[in-house]
């Protein structure tokens, strides 16, 4: 890393004007204002790994607009620990906050990740623009006043919580159709790889959609395909595109927000999505398009996870998740999406950990899959998530293979659990982890477990085993988990006594409000006058969705997904679906806010909330949410022909 010694110089007016006309918010300026600003512009070059801003050291005299290249923005606390906040590329900026706040010094570190050119605008010119142009003001200040920004940064630094980025997150509000740069570029499947490379170079893009002789899109070819499938294999440049393209093309509707695109890209490990508008592909978005939006921290952390080469390097990453999630909460993302993002980031971390661990141990003797249970299995993780996991592996065919498998997965399970604990994932108090030999079994043993629970159900054992019925596959051979889920979906719906006991257990949890609509809270102990949001609030919704999903053979594990699929199949009324979903998401949101506040206060997050700290509107909404529990229980009584009790 090298520090920058500035050497800006003049730049042709036409070059600046052309760039500003295609960059927000400058393309909203009147022509005269745009010209005045462009006349004051300088340009500077920063080689790769140049530290342009050093936090609390660099005096900021210009507003920087990235003309070409890219930077990473990071924060260092008093202990010297580094937190990556953002990647920014062409058309993005840095330096706005210290100029607007008039703090003089840089509030974050800015380092180039490749050779980078920046347009520099003098402080006075930028501030004049902010003060006189409402569109520019709104773009850079959002809803935060200058005083509020100052107070927020000071308070966050004092509490040793990473500061907010320079602008609000837009991932959850901007439709993917709005960030398309133009119509999709096409190439025939019969064209050569060289022709594809020439076309990409000419259009300054990294992908082309591939069409057949009937103009039907059948795939996509990217610059990565050219590198990995053509050059790396030594294929002839005349190789037809159809032989190295990726098919089918992954798509997303144009009205979906960029957050949905980010989730899909990170889940499927892809970098391109075709945007569909009224059944027609309108264009293609990339991970770079997402990164040039404000608030790219989820993708930044994902890239950090991918880049780590040792397990010890992963230990510091899990604690970074809350800072990322705070941005999503502030922007108004739905609780379900927030939980899915937490789950997705944690999944990637576990996947990387297991990948490195297997490289150290050697390949397993039989295929296996890492399974998630409970809230991890439902993709409903929050800031406090105990480890709930297991291992399923292919049935050994010989005694020696069985011995080798048992030994290998014992070593893998024990090591993985220890490393996850070092990453910050607490051990499961009930020992439902892959380090426990009971939860590290071949496929036939897992089927036997579920058959035992459903065939001869003991009410207490069922209550203890419900966590297992929310399992999903993680790293490894997904087919093993899918086969087990298929088996459970077929068998459970026929086990009436088992389902009856599950439904009866749902009725044991009473809504935590009294006849007079007062909250029923803990009367004594550590959590006196507090409400257990998980046990008394969220669990009834989880249990309700689970028992009906098992009864009707629905394979989804996420509570919101289960409720939606139940409604679509007319197993629950649409009105009940709307009410349960809205109530559950509200409870989830309050829980996330509560835990986030505890984290930022330096406290260990929990599920106990004092209703007295809520606003009147929150209290009223909470009471309405709890009344839905009664409606769910009434529905179950009718569904399972139970007496009112």
The CATH number given to whatever domain includes residue 617 is 1.20.120
Each residue of 193-226: pLDDT tens digit?
A: 999 999 988 888 888 999 998 888 999 999 888 8
pLDDT value of residue 401: 96
Same structural domain for residues 470 and 506? no
Task: Indicate the SS3 state at residue 231.
Answer: helix
pLDDT value of residue 28: 82
pLDDT value of residue 85: 65
Domain that holds residue 457: 296-492
Same structural domain for residues 134 and 22? yes
Same structural domain for residues 130 and 183? no
Q: To which residue do tokens 């009834």 refer? A: 540
Residue 171 within any structural domain of the chain: no
Same structural domain for residues 120 and 259? no
Same structural domain for residues 287 and 306? no
Strands 251-253 and 272-277: parallel
Instruction: Assign residue 149 the CATH number of its domain.
Output: 2.60.120.10
Same structural domain for residues 517 and 417? no
Residue 165 within any structural domain of the chain: no
The domain boundary, picked from 492, 516, 545, lies at: 492
Residue 53 within any structural domain of the chain: yes
Instruction: Assign residue 356 the CATH number of its domain.
Output: 3.30.460.10
Each residue of 375-390: pLDDT tens digit?
A: 999 999 887 778 899 9
Cα 348 from chain centroid (whole Å): 10
Same structural domain for residues 320 and 449? yes
Residue 377 within any structural domain of the chain: yes
Residue 159 CA to residue 10 CA, distance in Å, equals 43
Judged against a pLDDT cut of 60, whether residue 15 lies above it is answered with: yes
Each residue of 348-376: pLDDT tens digit?
A: 899 999 999 999 999 999 999 999 999 99
Number of domains in the chain: 4
Residue 548 CA to residue 240 CA, distance in Å, equals 51
pLDDT value of residue 338: 83
Same structural domain for residues 616 and 586? yes
Residue 166 within any structural domain of the chain: no
Same structural domain for residues 203 and 326? no
Residue 381 CA to residue 345 CA, distance in Å, equals 11
The pair phi, psi for residue 519, each rounded to 5°, is -75, 140
The domain boundary, picked from 240, 269, 291, lies at: 291
Each residue of 43-88: pLDDT tens digit?
A: 999 999 999 999 989 999 999 999 998 888 888 877 777 776 666 7
Burial 517-535 (b: 16+ CB within 10 A, else e): eebebeeeeebeebbbbbe
Assign 337 a pLDDT band (cuts: 50, 70, 90): confident
| CA-to-CA dists, residue 263 to 155, 290, 325, 344, 345, angstroms | 31, 11, 13, 8, 10
Instruction: Assign residue 252 the CATH number of its domain.
Output: 3.10.580.10
Same structural domain for residues 217 and 311? no
The domain boundary, picked from 225, 258, 291, lies at: 291
Same structural domain for residues 181 and 278? yes
Residue 90 within any structural domain of the chain: yes
Residue 163 within any structural domain of the chain: no
Residue 167 within any structural domain of the chain: no
Q: Where are the beta strands (DSSP E) in 250-403?
A: 251-253, 272-277, 280-286, 368-372, 389-393
Same structural domain for residues 534 and 632? yes
């Amino acid at each position: 890393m090298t520090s920058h010694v500035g050497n800006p110089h003049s730049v042709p007016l036409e070059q600046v004007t052309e760039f500003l006309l295609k960059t927000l918010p400058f393309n909203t300026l009147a022509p005269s204002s745009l010209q005045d600003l462009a006349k004051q512009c300088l340009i500077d070059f920063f080689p790769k790994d140049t530290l342009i801003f050093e936090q609390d050291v660099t005096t900021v005299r210009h507003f920087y607009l990235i003309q070409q290249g890219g930077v990473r923005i990071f924060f260092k606390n008093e202990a010297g620990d580094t937190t990556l906040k953002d990647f920014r590329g062409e058309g993005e900026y840095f330096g706005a906050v210290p100029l607007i706040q008039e703090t003089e010094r840089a509030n974050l570190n800015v380092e180039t990740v490749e050779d980078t050119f920046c347009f520099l605008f003098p402080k006075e010119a930028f501030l004049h623009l902010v003060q006189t142009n409402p569109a520019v003001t709104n773009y850079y200040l959002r809803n935060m006043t200058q005083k509020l920004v100052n107070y927020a940064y000071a308070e966050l630094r004092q509490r040793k919580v990473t500061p907010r980025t320079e602008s609000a997150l837009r991932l959850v509000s901007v439709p993917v159709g709005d960030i398309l740069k133009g119509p999709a570029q096409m190439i025939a499947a019969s064209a050569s790889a060289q022709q594809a490379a020439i076309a990409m170079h000419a259009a300054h893009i990294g992908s082309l959609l591939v069409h057949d002789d009937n103009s039907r899109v059948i795939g996509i070819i990217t610059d990565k395909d050219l590198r990995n499938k053509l050059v790396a294999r030594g294929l002839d440049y005349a190789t037809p595109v159809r032989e190295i393209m990726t098919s089918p093309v992954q798509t997303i509707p144009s009205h979906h927000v960029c957050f949905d695109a980010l989730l899909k890209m990170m889940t499927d490990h892809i970098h391109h999505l075709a945007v569909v508008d009224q059944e027609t592909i309108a264009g293609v978005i990339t991970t770079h398009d997402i990164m040039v939006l404000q608030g790219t921290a989820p993708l930044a952390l994902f890239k950090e996870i991918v880049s780590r080469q040792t397990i010890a390097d992963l230990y510091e990453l899990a604690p970074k998740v809350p800072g990322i999630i705070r941005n999503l909460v502030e922007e108004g993302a739905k609780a379900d999406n927030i939980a899915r993002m937490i789950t997705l980031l944690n999944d990637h971390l576990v996947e990387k950990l297991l990948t490195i661990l297997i490289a150290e141990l050697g390949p397993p003797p039989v295929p296996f899959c890492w399974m998630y249970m409970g809230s991890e299995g439902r993709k409903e993780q929050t800031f406090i998530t105990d480890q709930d996991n297991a291992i399923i592996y292919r049935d050994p065919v010989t005694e020696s293979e069985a011995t080798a498998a048992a030994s290998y997965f014992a070593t893998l399970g024990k090591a993985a659990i220890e490393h996850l604990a070092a990453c910050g994932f607490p051990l499961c108090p009930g020992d439902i982890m892959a380090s426990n030999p009971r939860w590290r079994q071949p496929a036939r043993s897992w089927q036997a477990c579920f058959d035992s629970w459903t065939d001869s159900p003991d009410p207490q054992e069922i209550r203890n085993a419900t966590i297992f019925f929310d399992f999903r596959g993680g790293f490894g051979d997904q087919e093993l988990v899918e086969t087990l889920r298929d088996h459970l979906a077929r068998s459970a719906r026929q086990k009436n006594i088992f389902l009856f006991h599950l439904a009866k257990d749902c009725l044991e949890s009473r809504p935590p409000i009294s006849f007079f609509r007062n909250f029923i809270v803990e009367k004594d102990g550590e959590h006196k006058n507090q409400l257990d949001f998980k046990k008394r609030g969220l669990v009834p919704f989880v249990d309700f969705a689970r028992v009906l999903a098992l009864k009707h053979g629905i394979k989804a594990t996420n509570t919101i997904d289960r409720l939606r699929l139940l409604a679509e199949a007319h197993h629950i009324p649409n009105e009940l679906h709307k009410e349960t979903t809205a109530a559950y998401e509200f409870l989830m949101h309050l829980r996330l806010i509560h835990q986030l506040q505890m984290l930022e206060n330096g406290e260990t997050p929990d599920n106990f909330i004092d209703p007295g700290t809520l606003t009147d509107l929150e209290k009223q909404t909470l009471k309405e949410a709890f009344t839905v529990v009664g409606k769910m229980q009434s529905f179950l009584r009718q569904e399972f022909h139970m007496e009112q009790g």
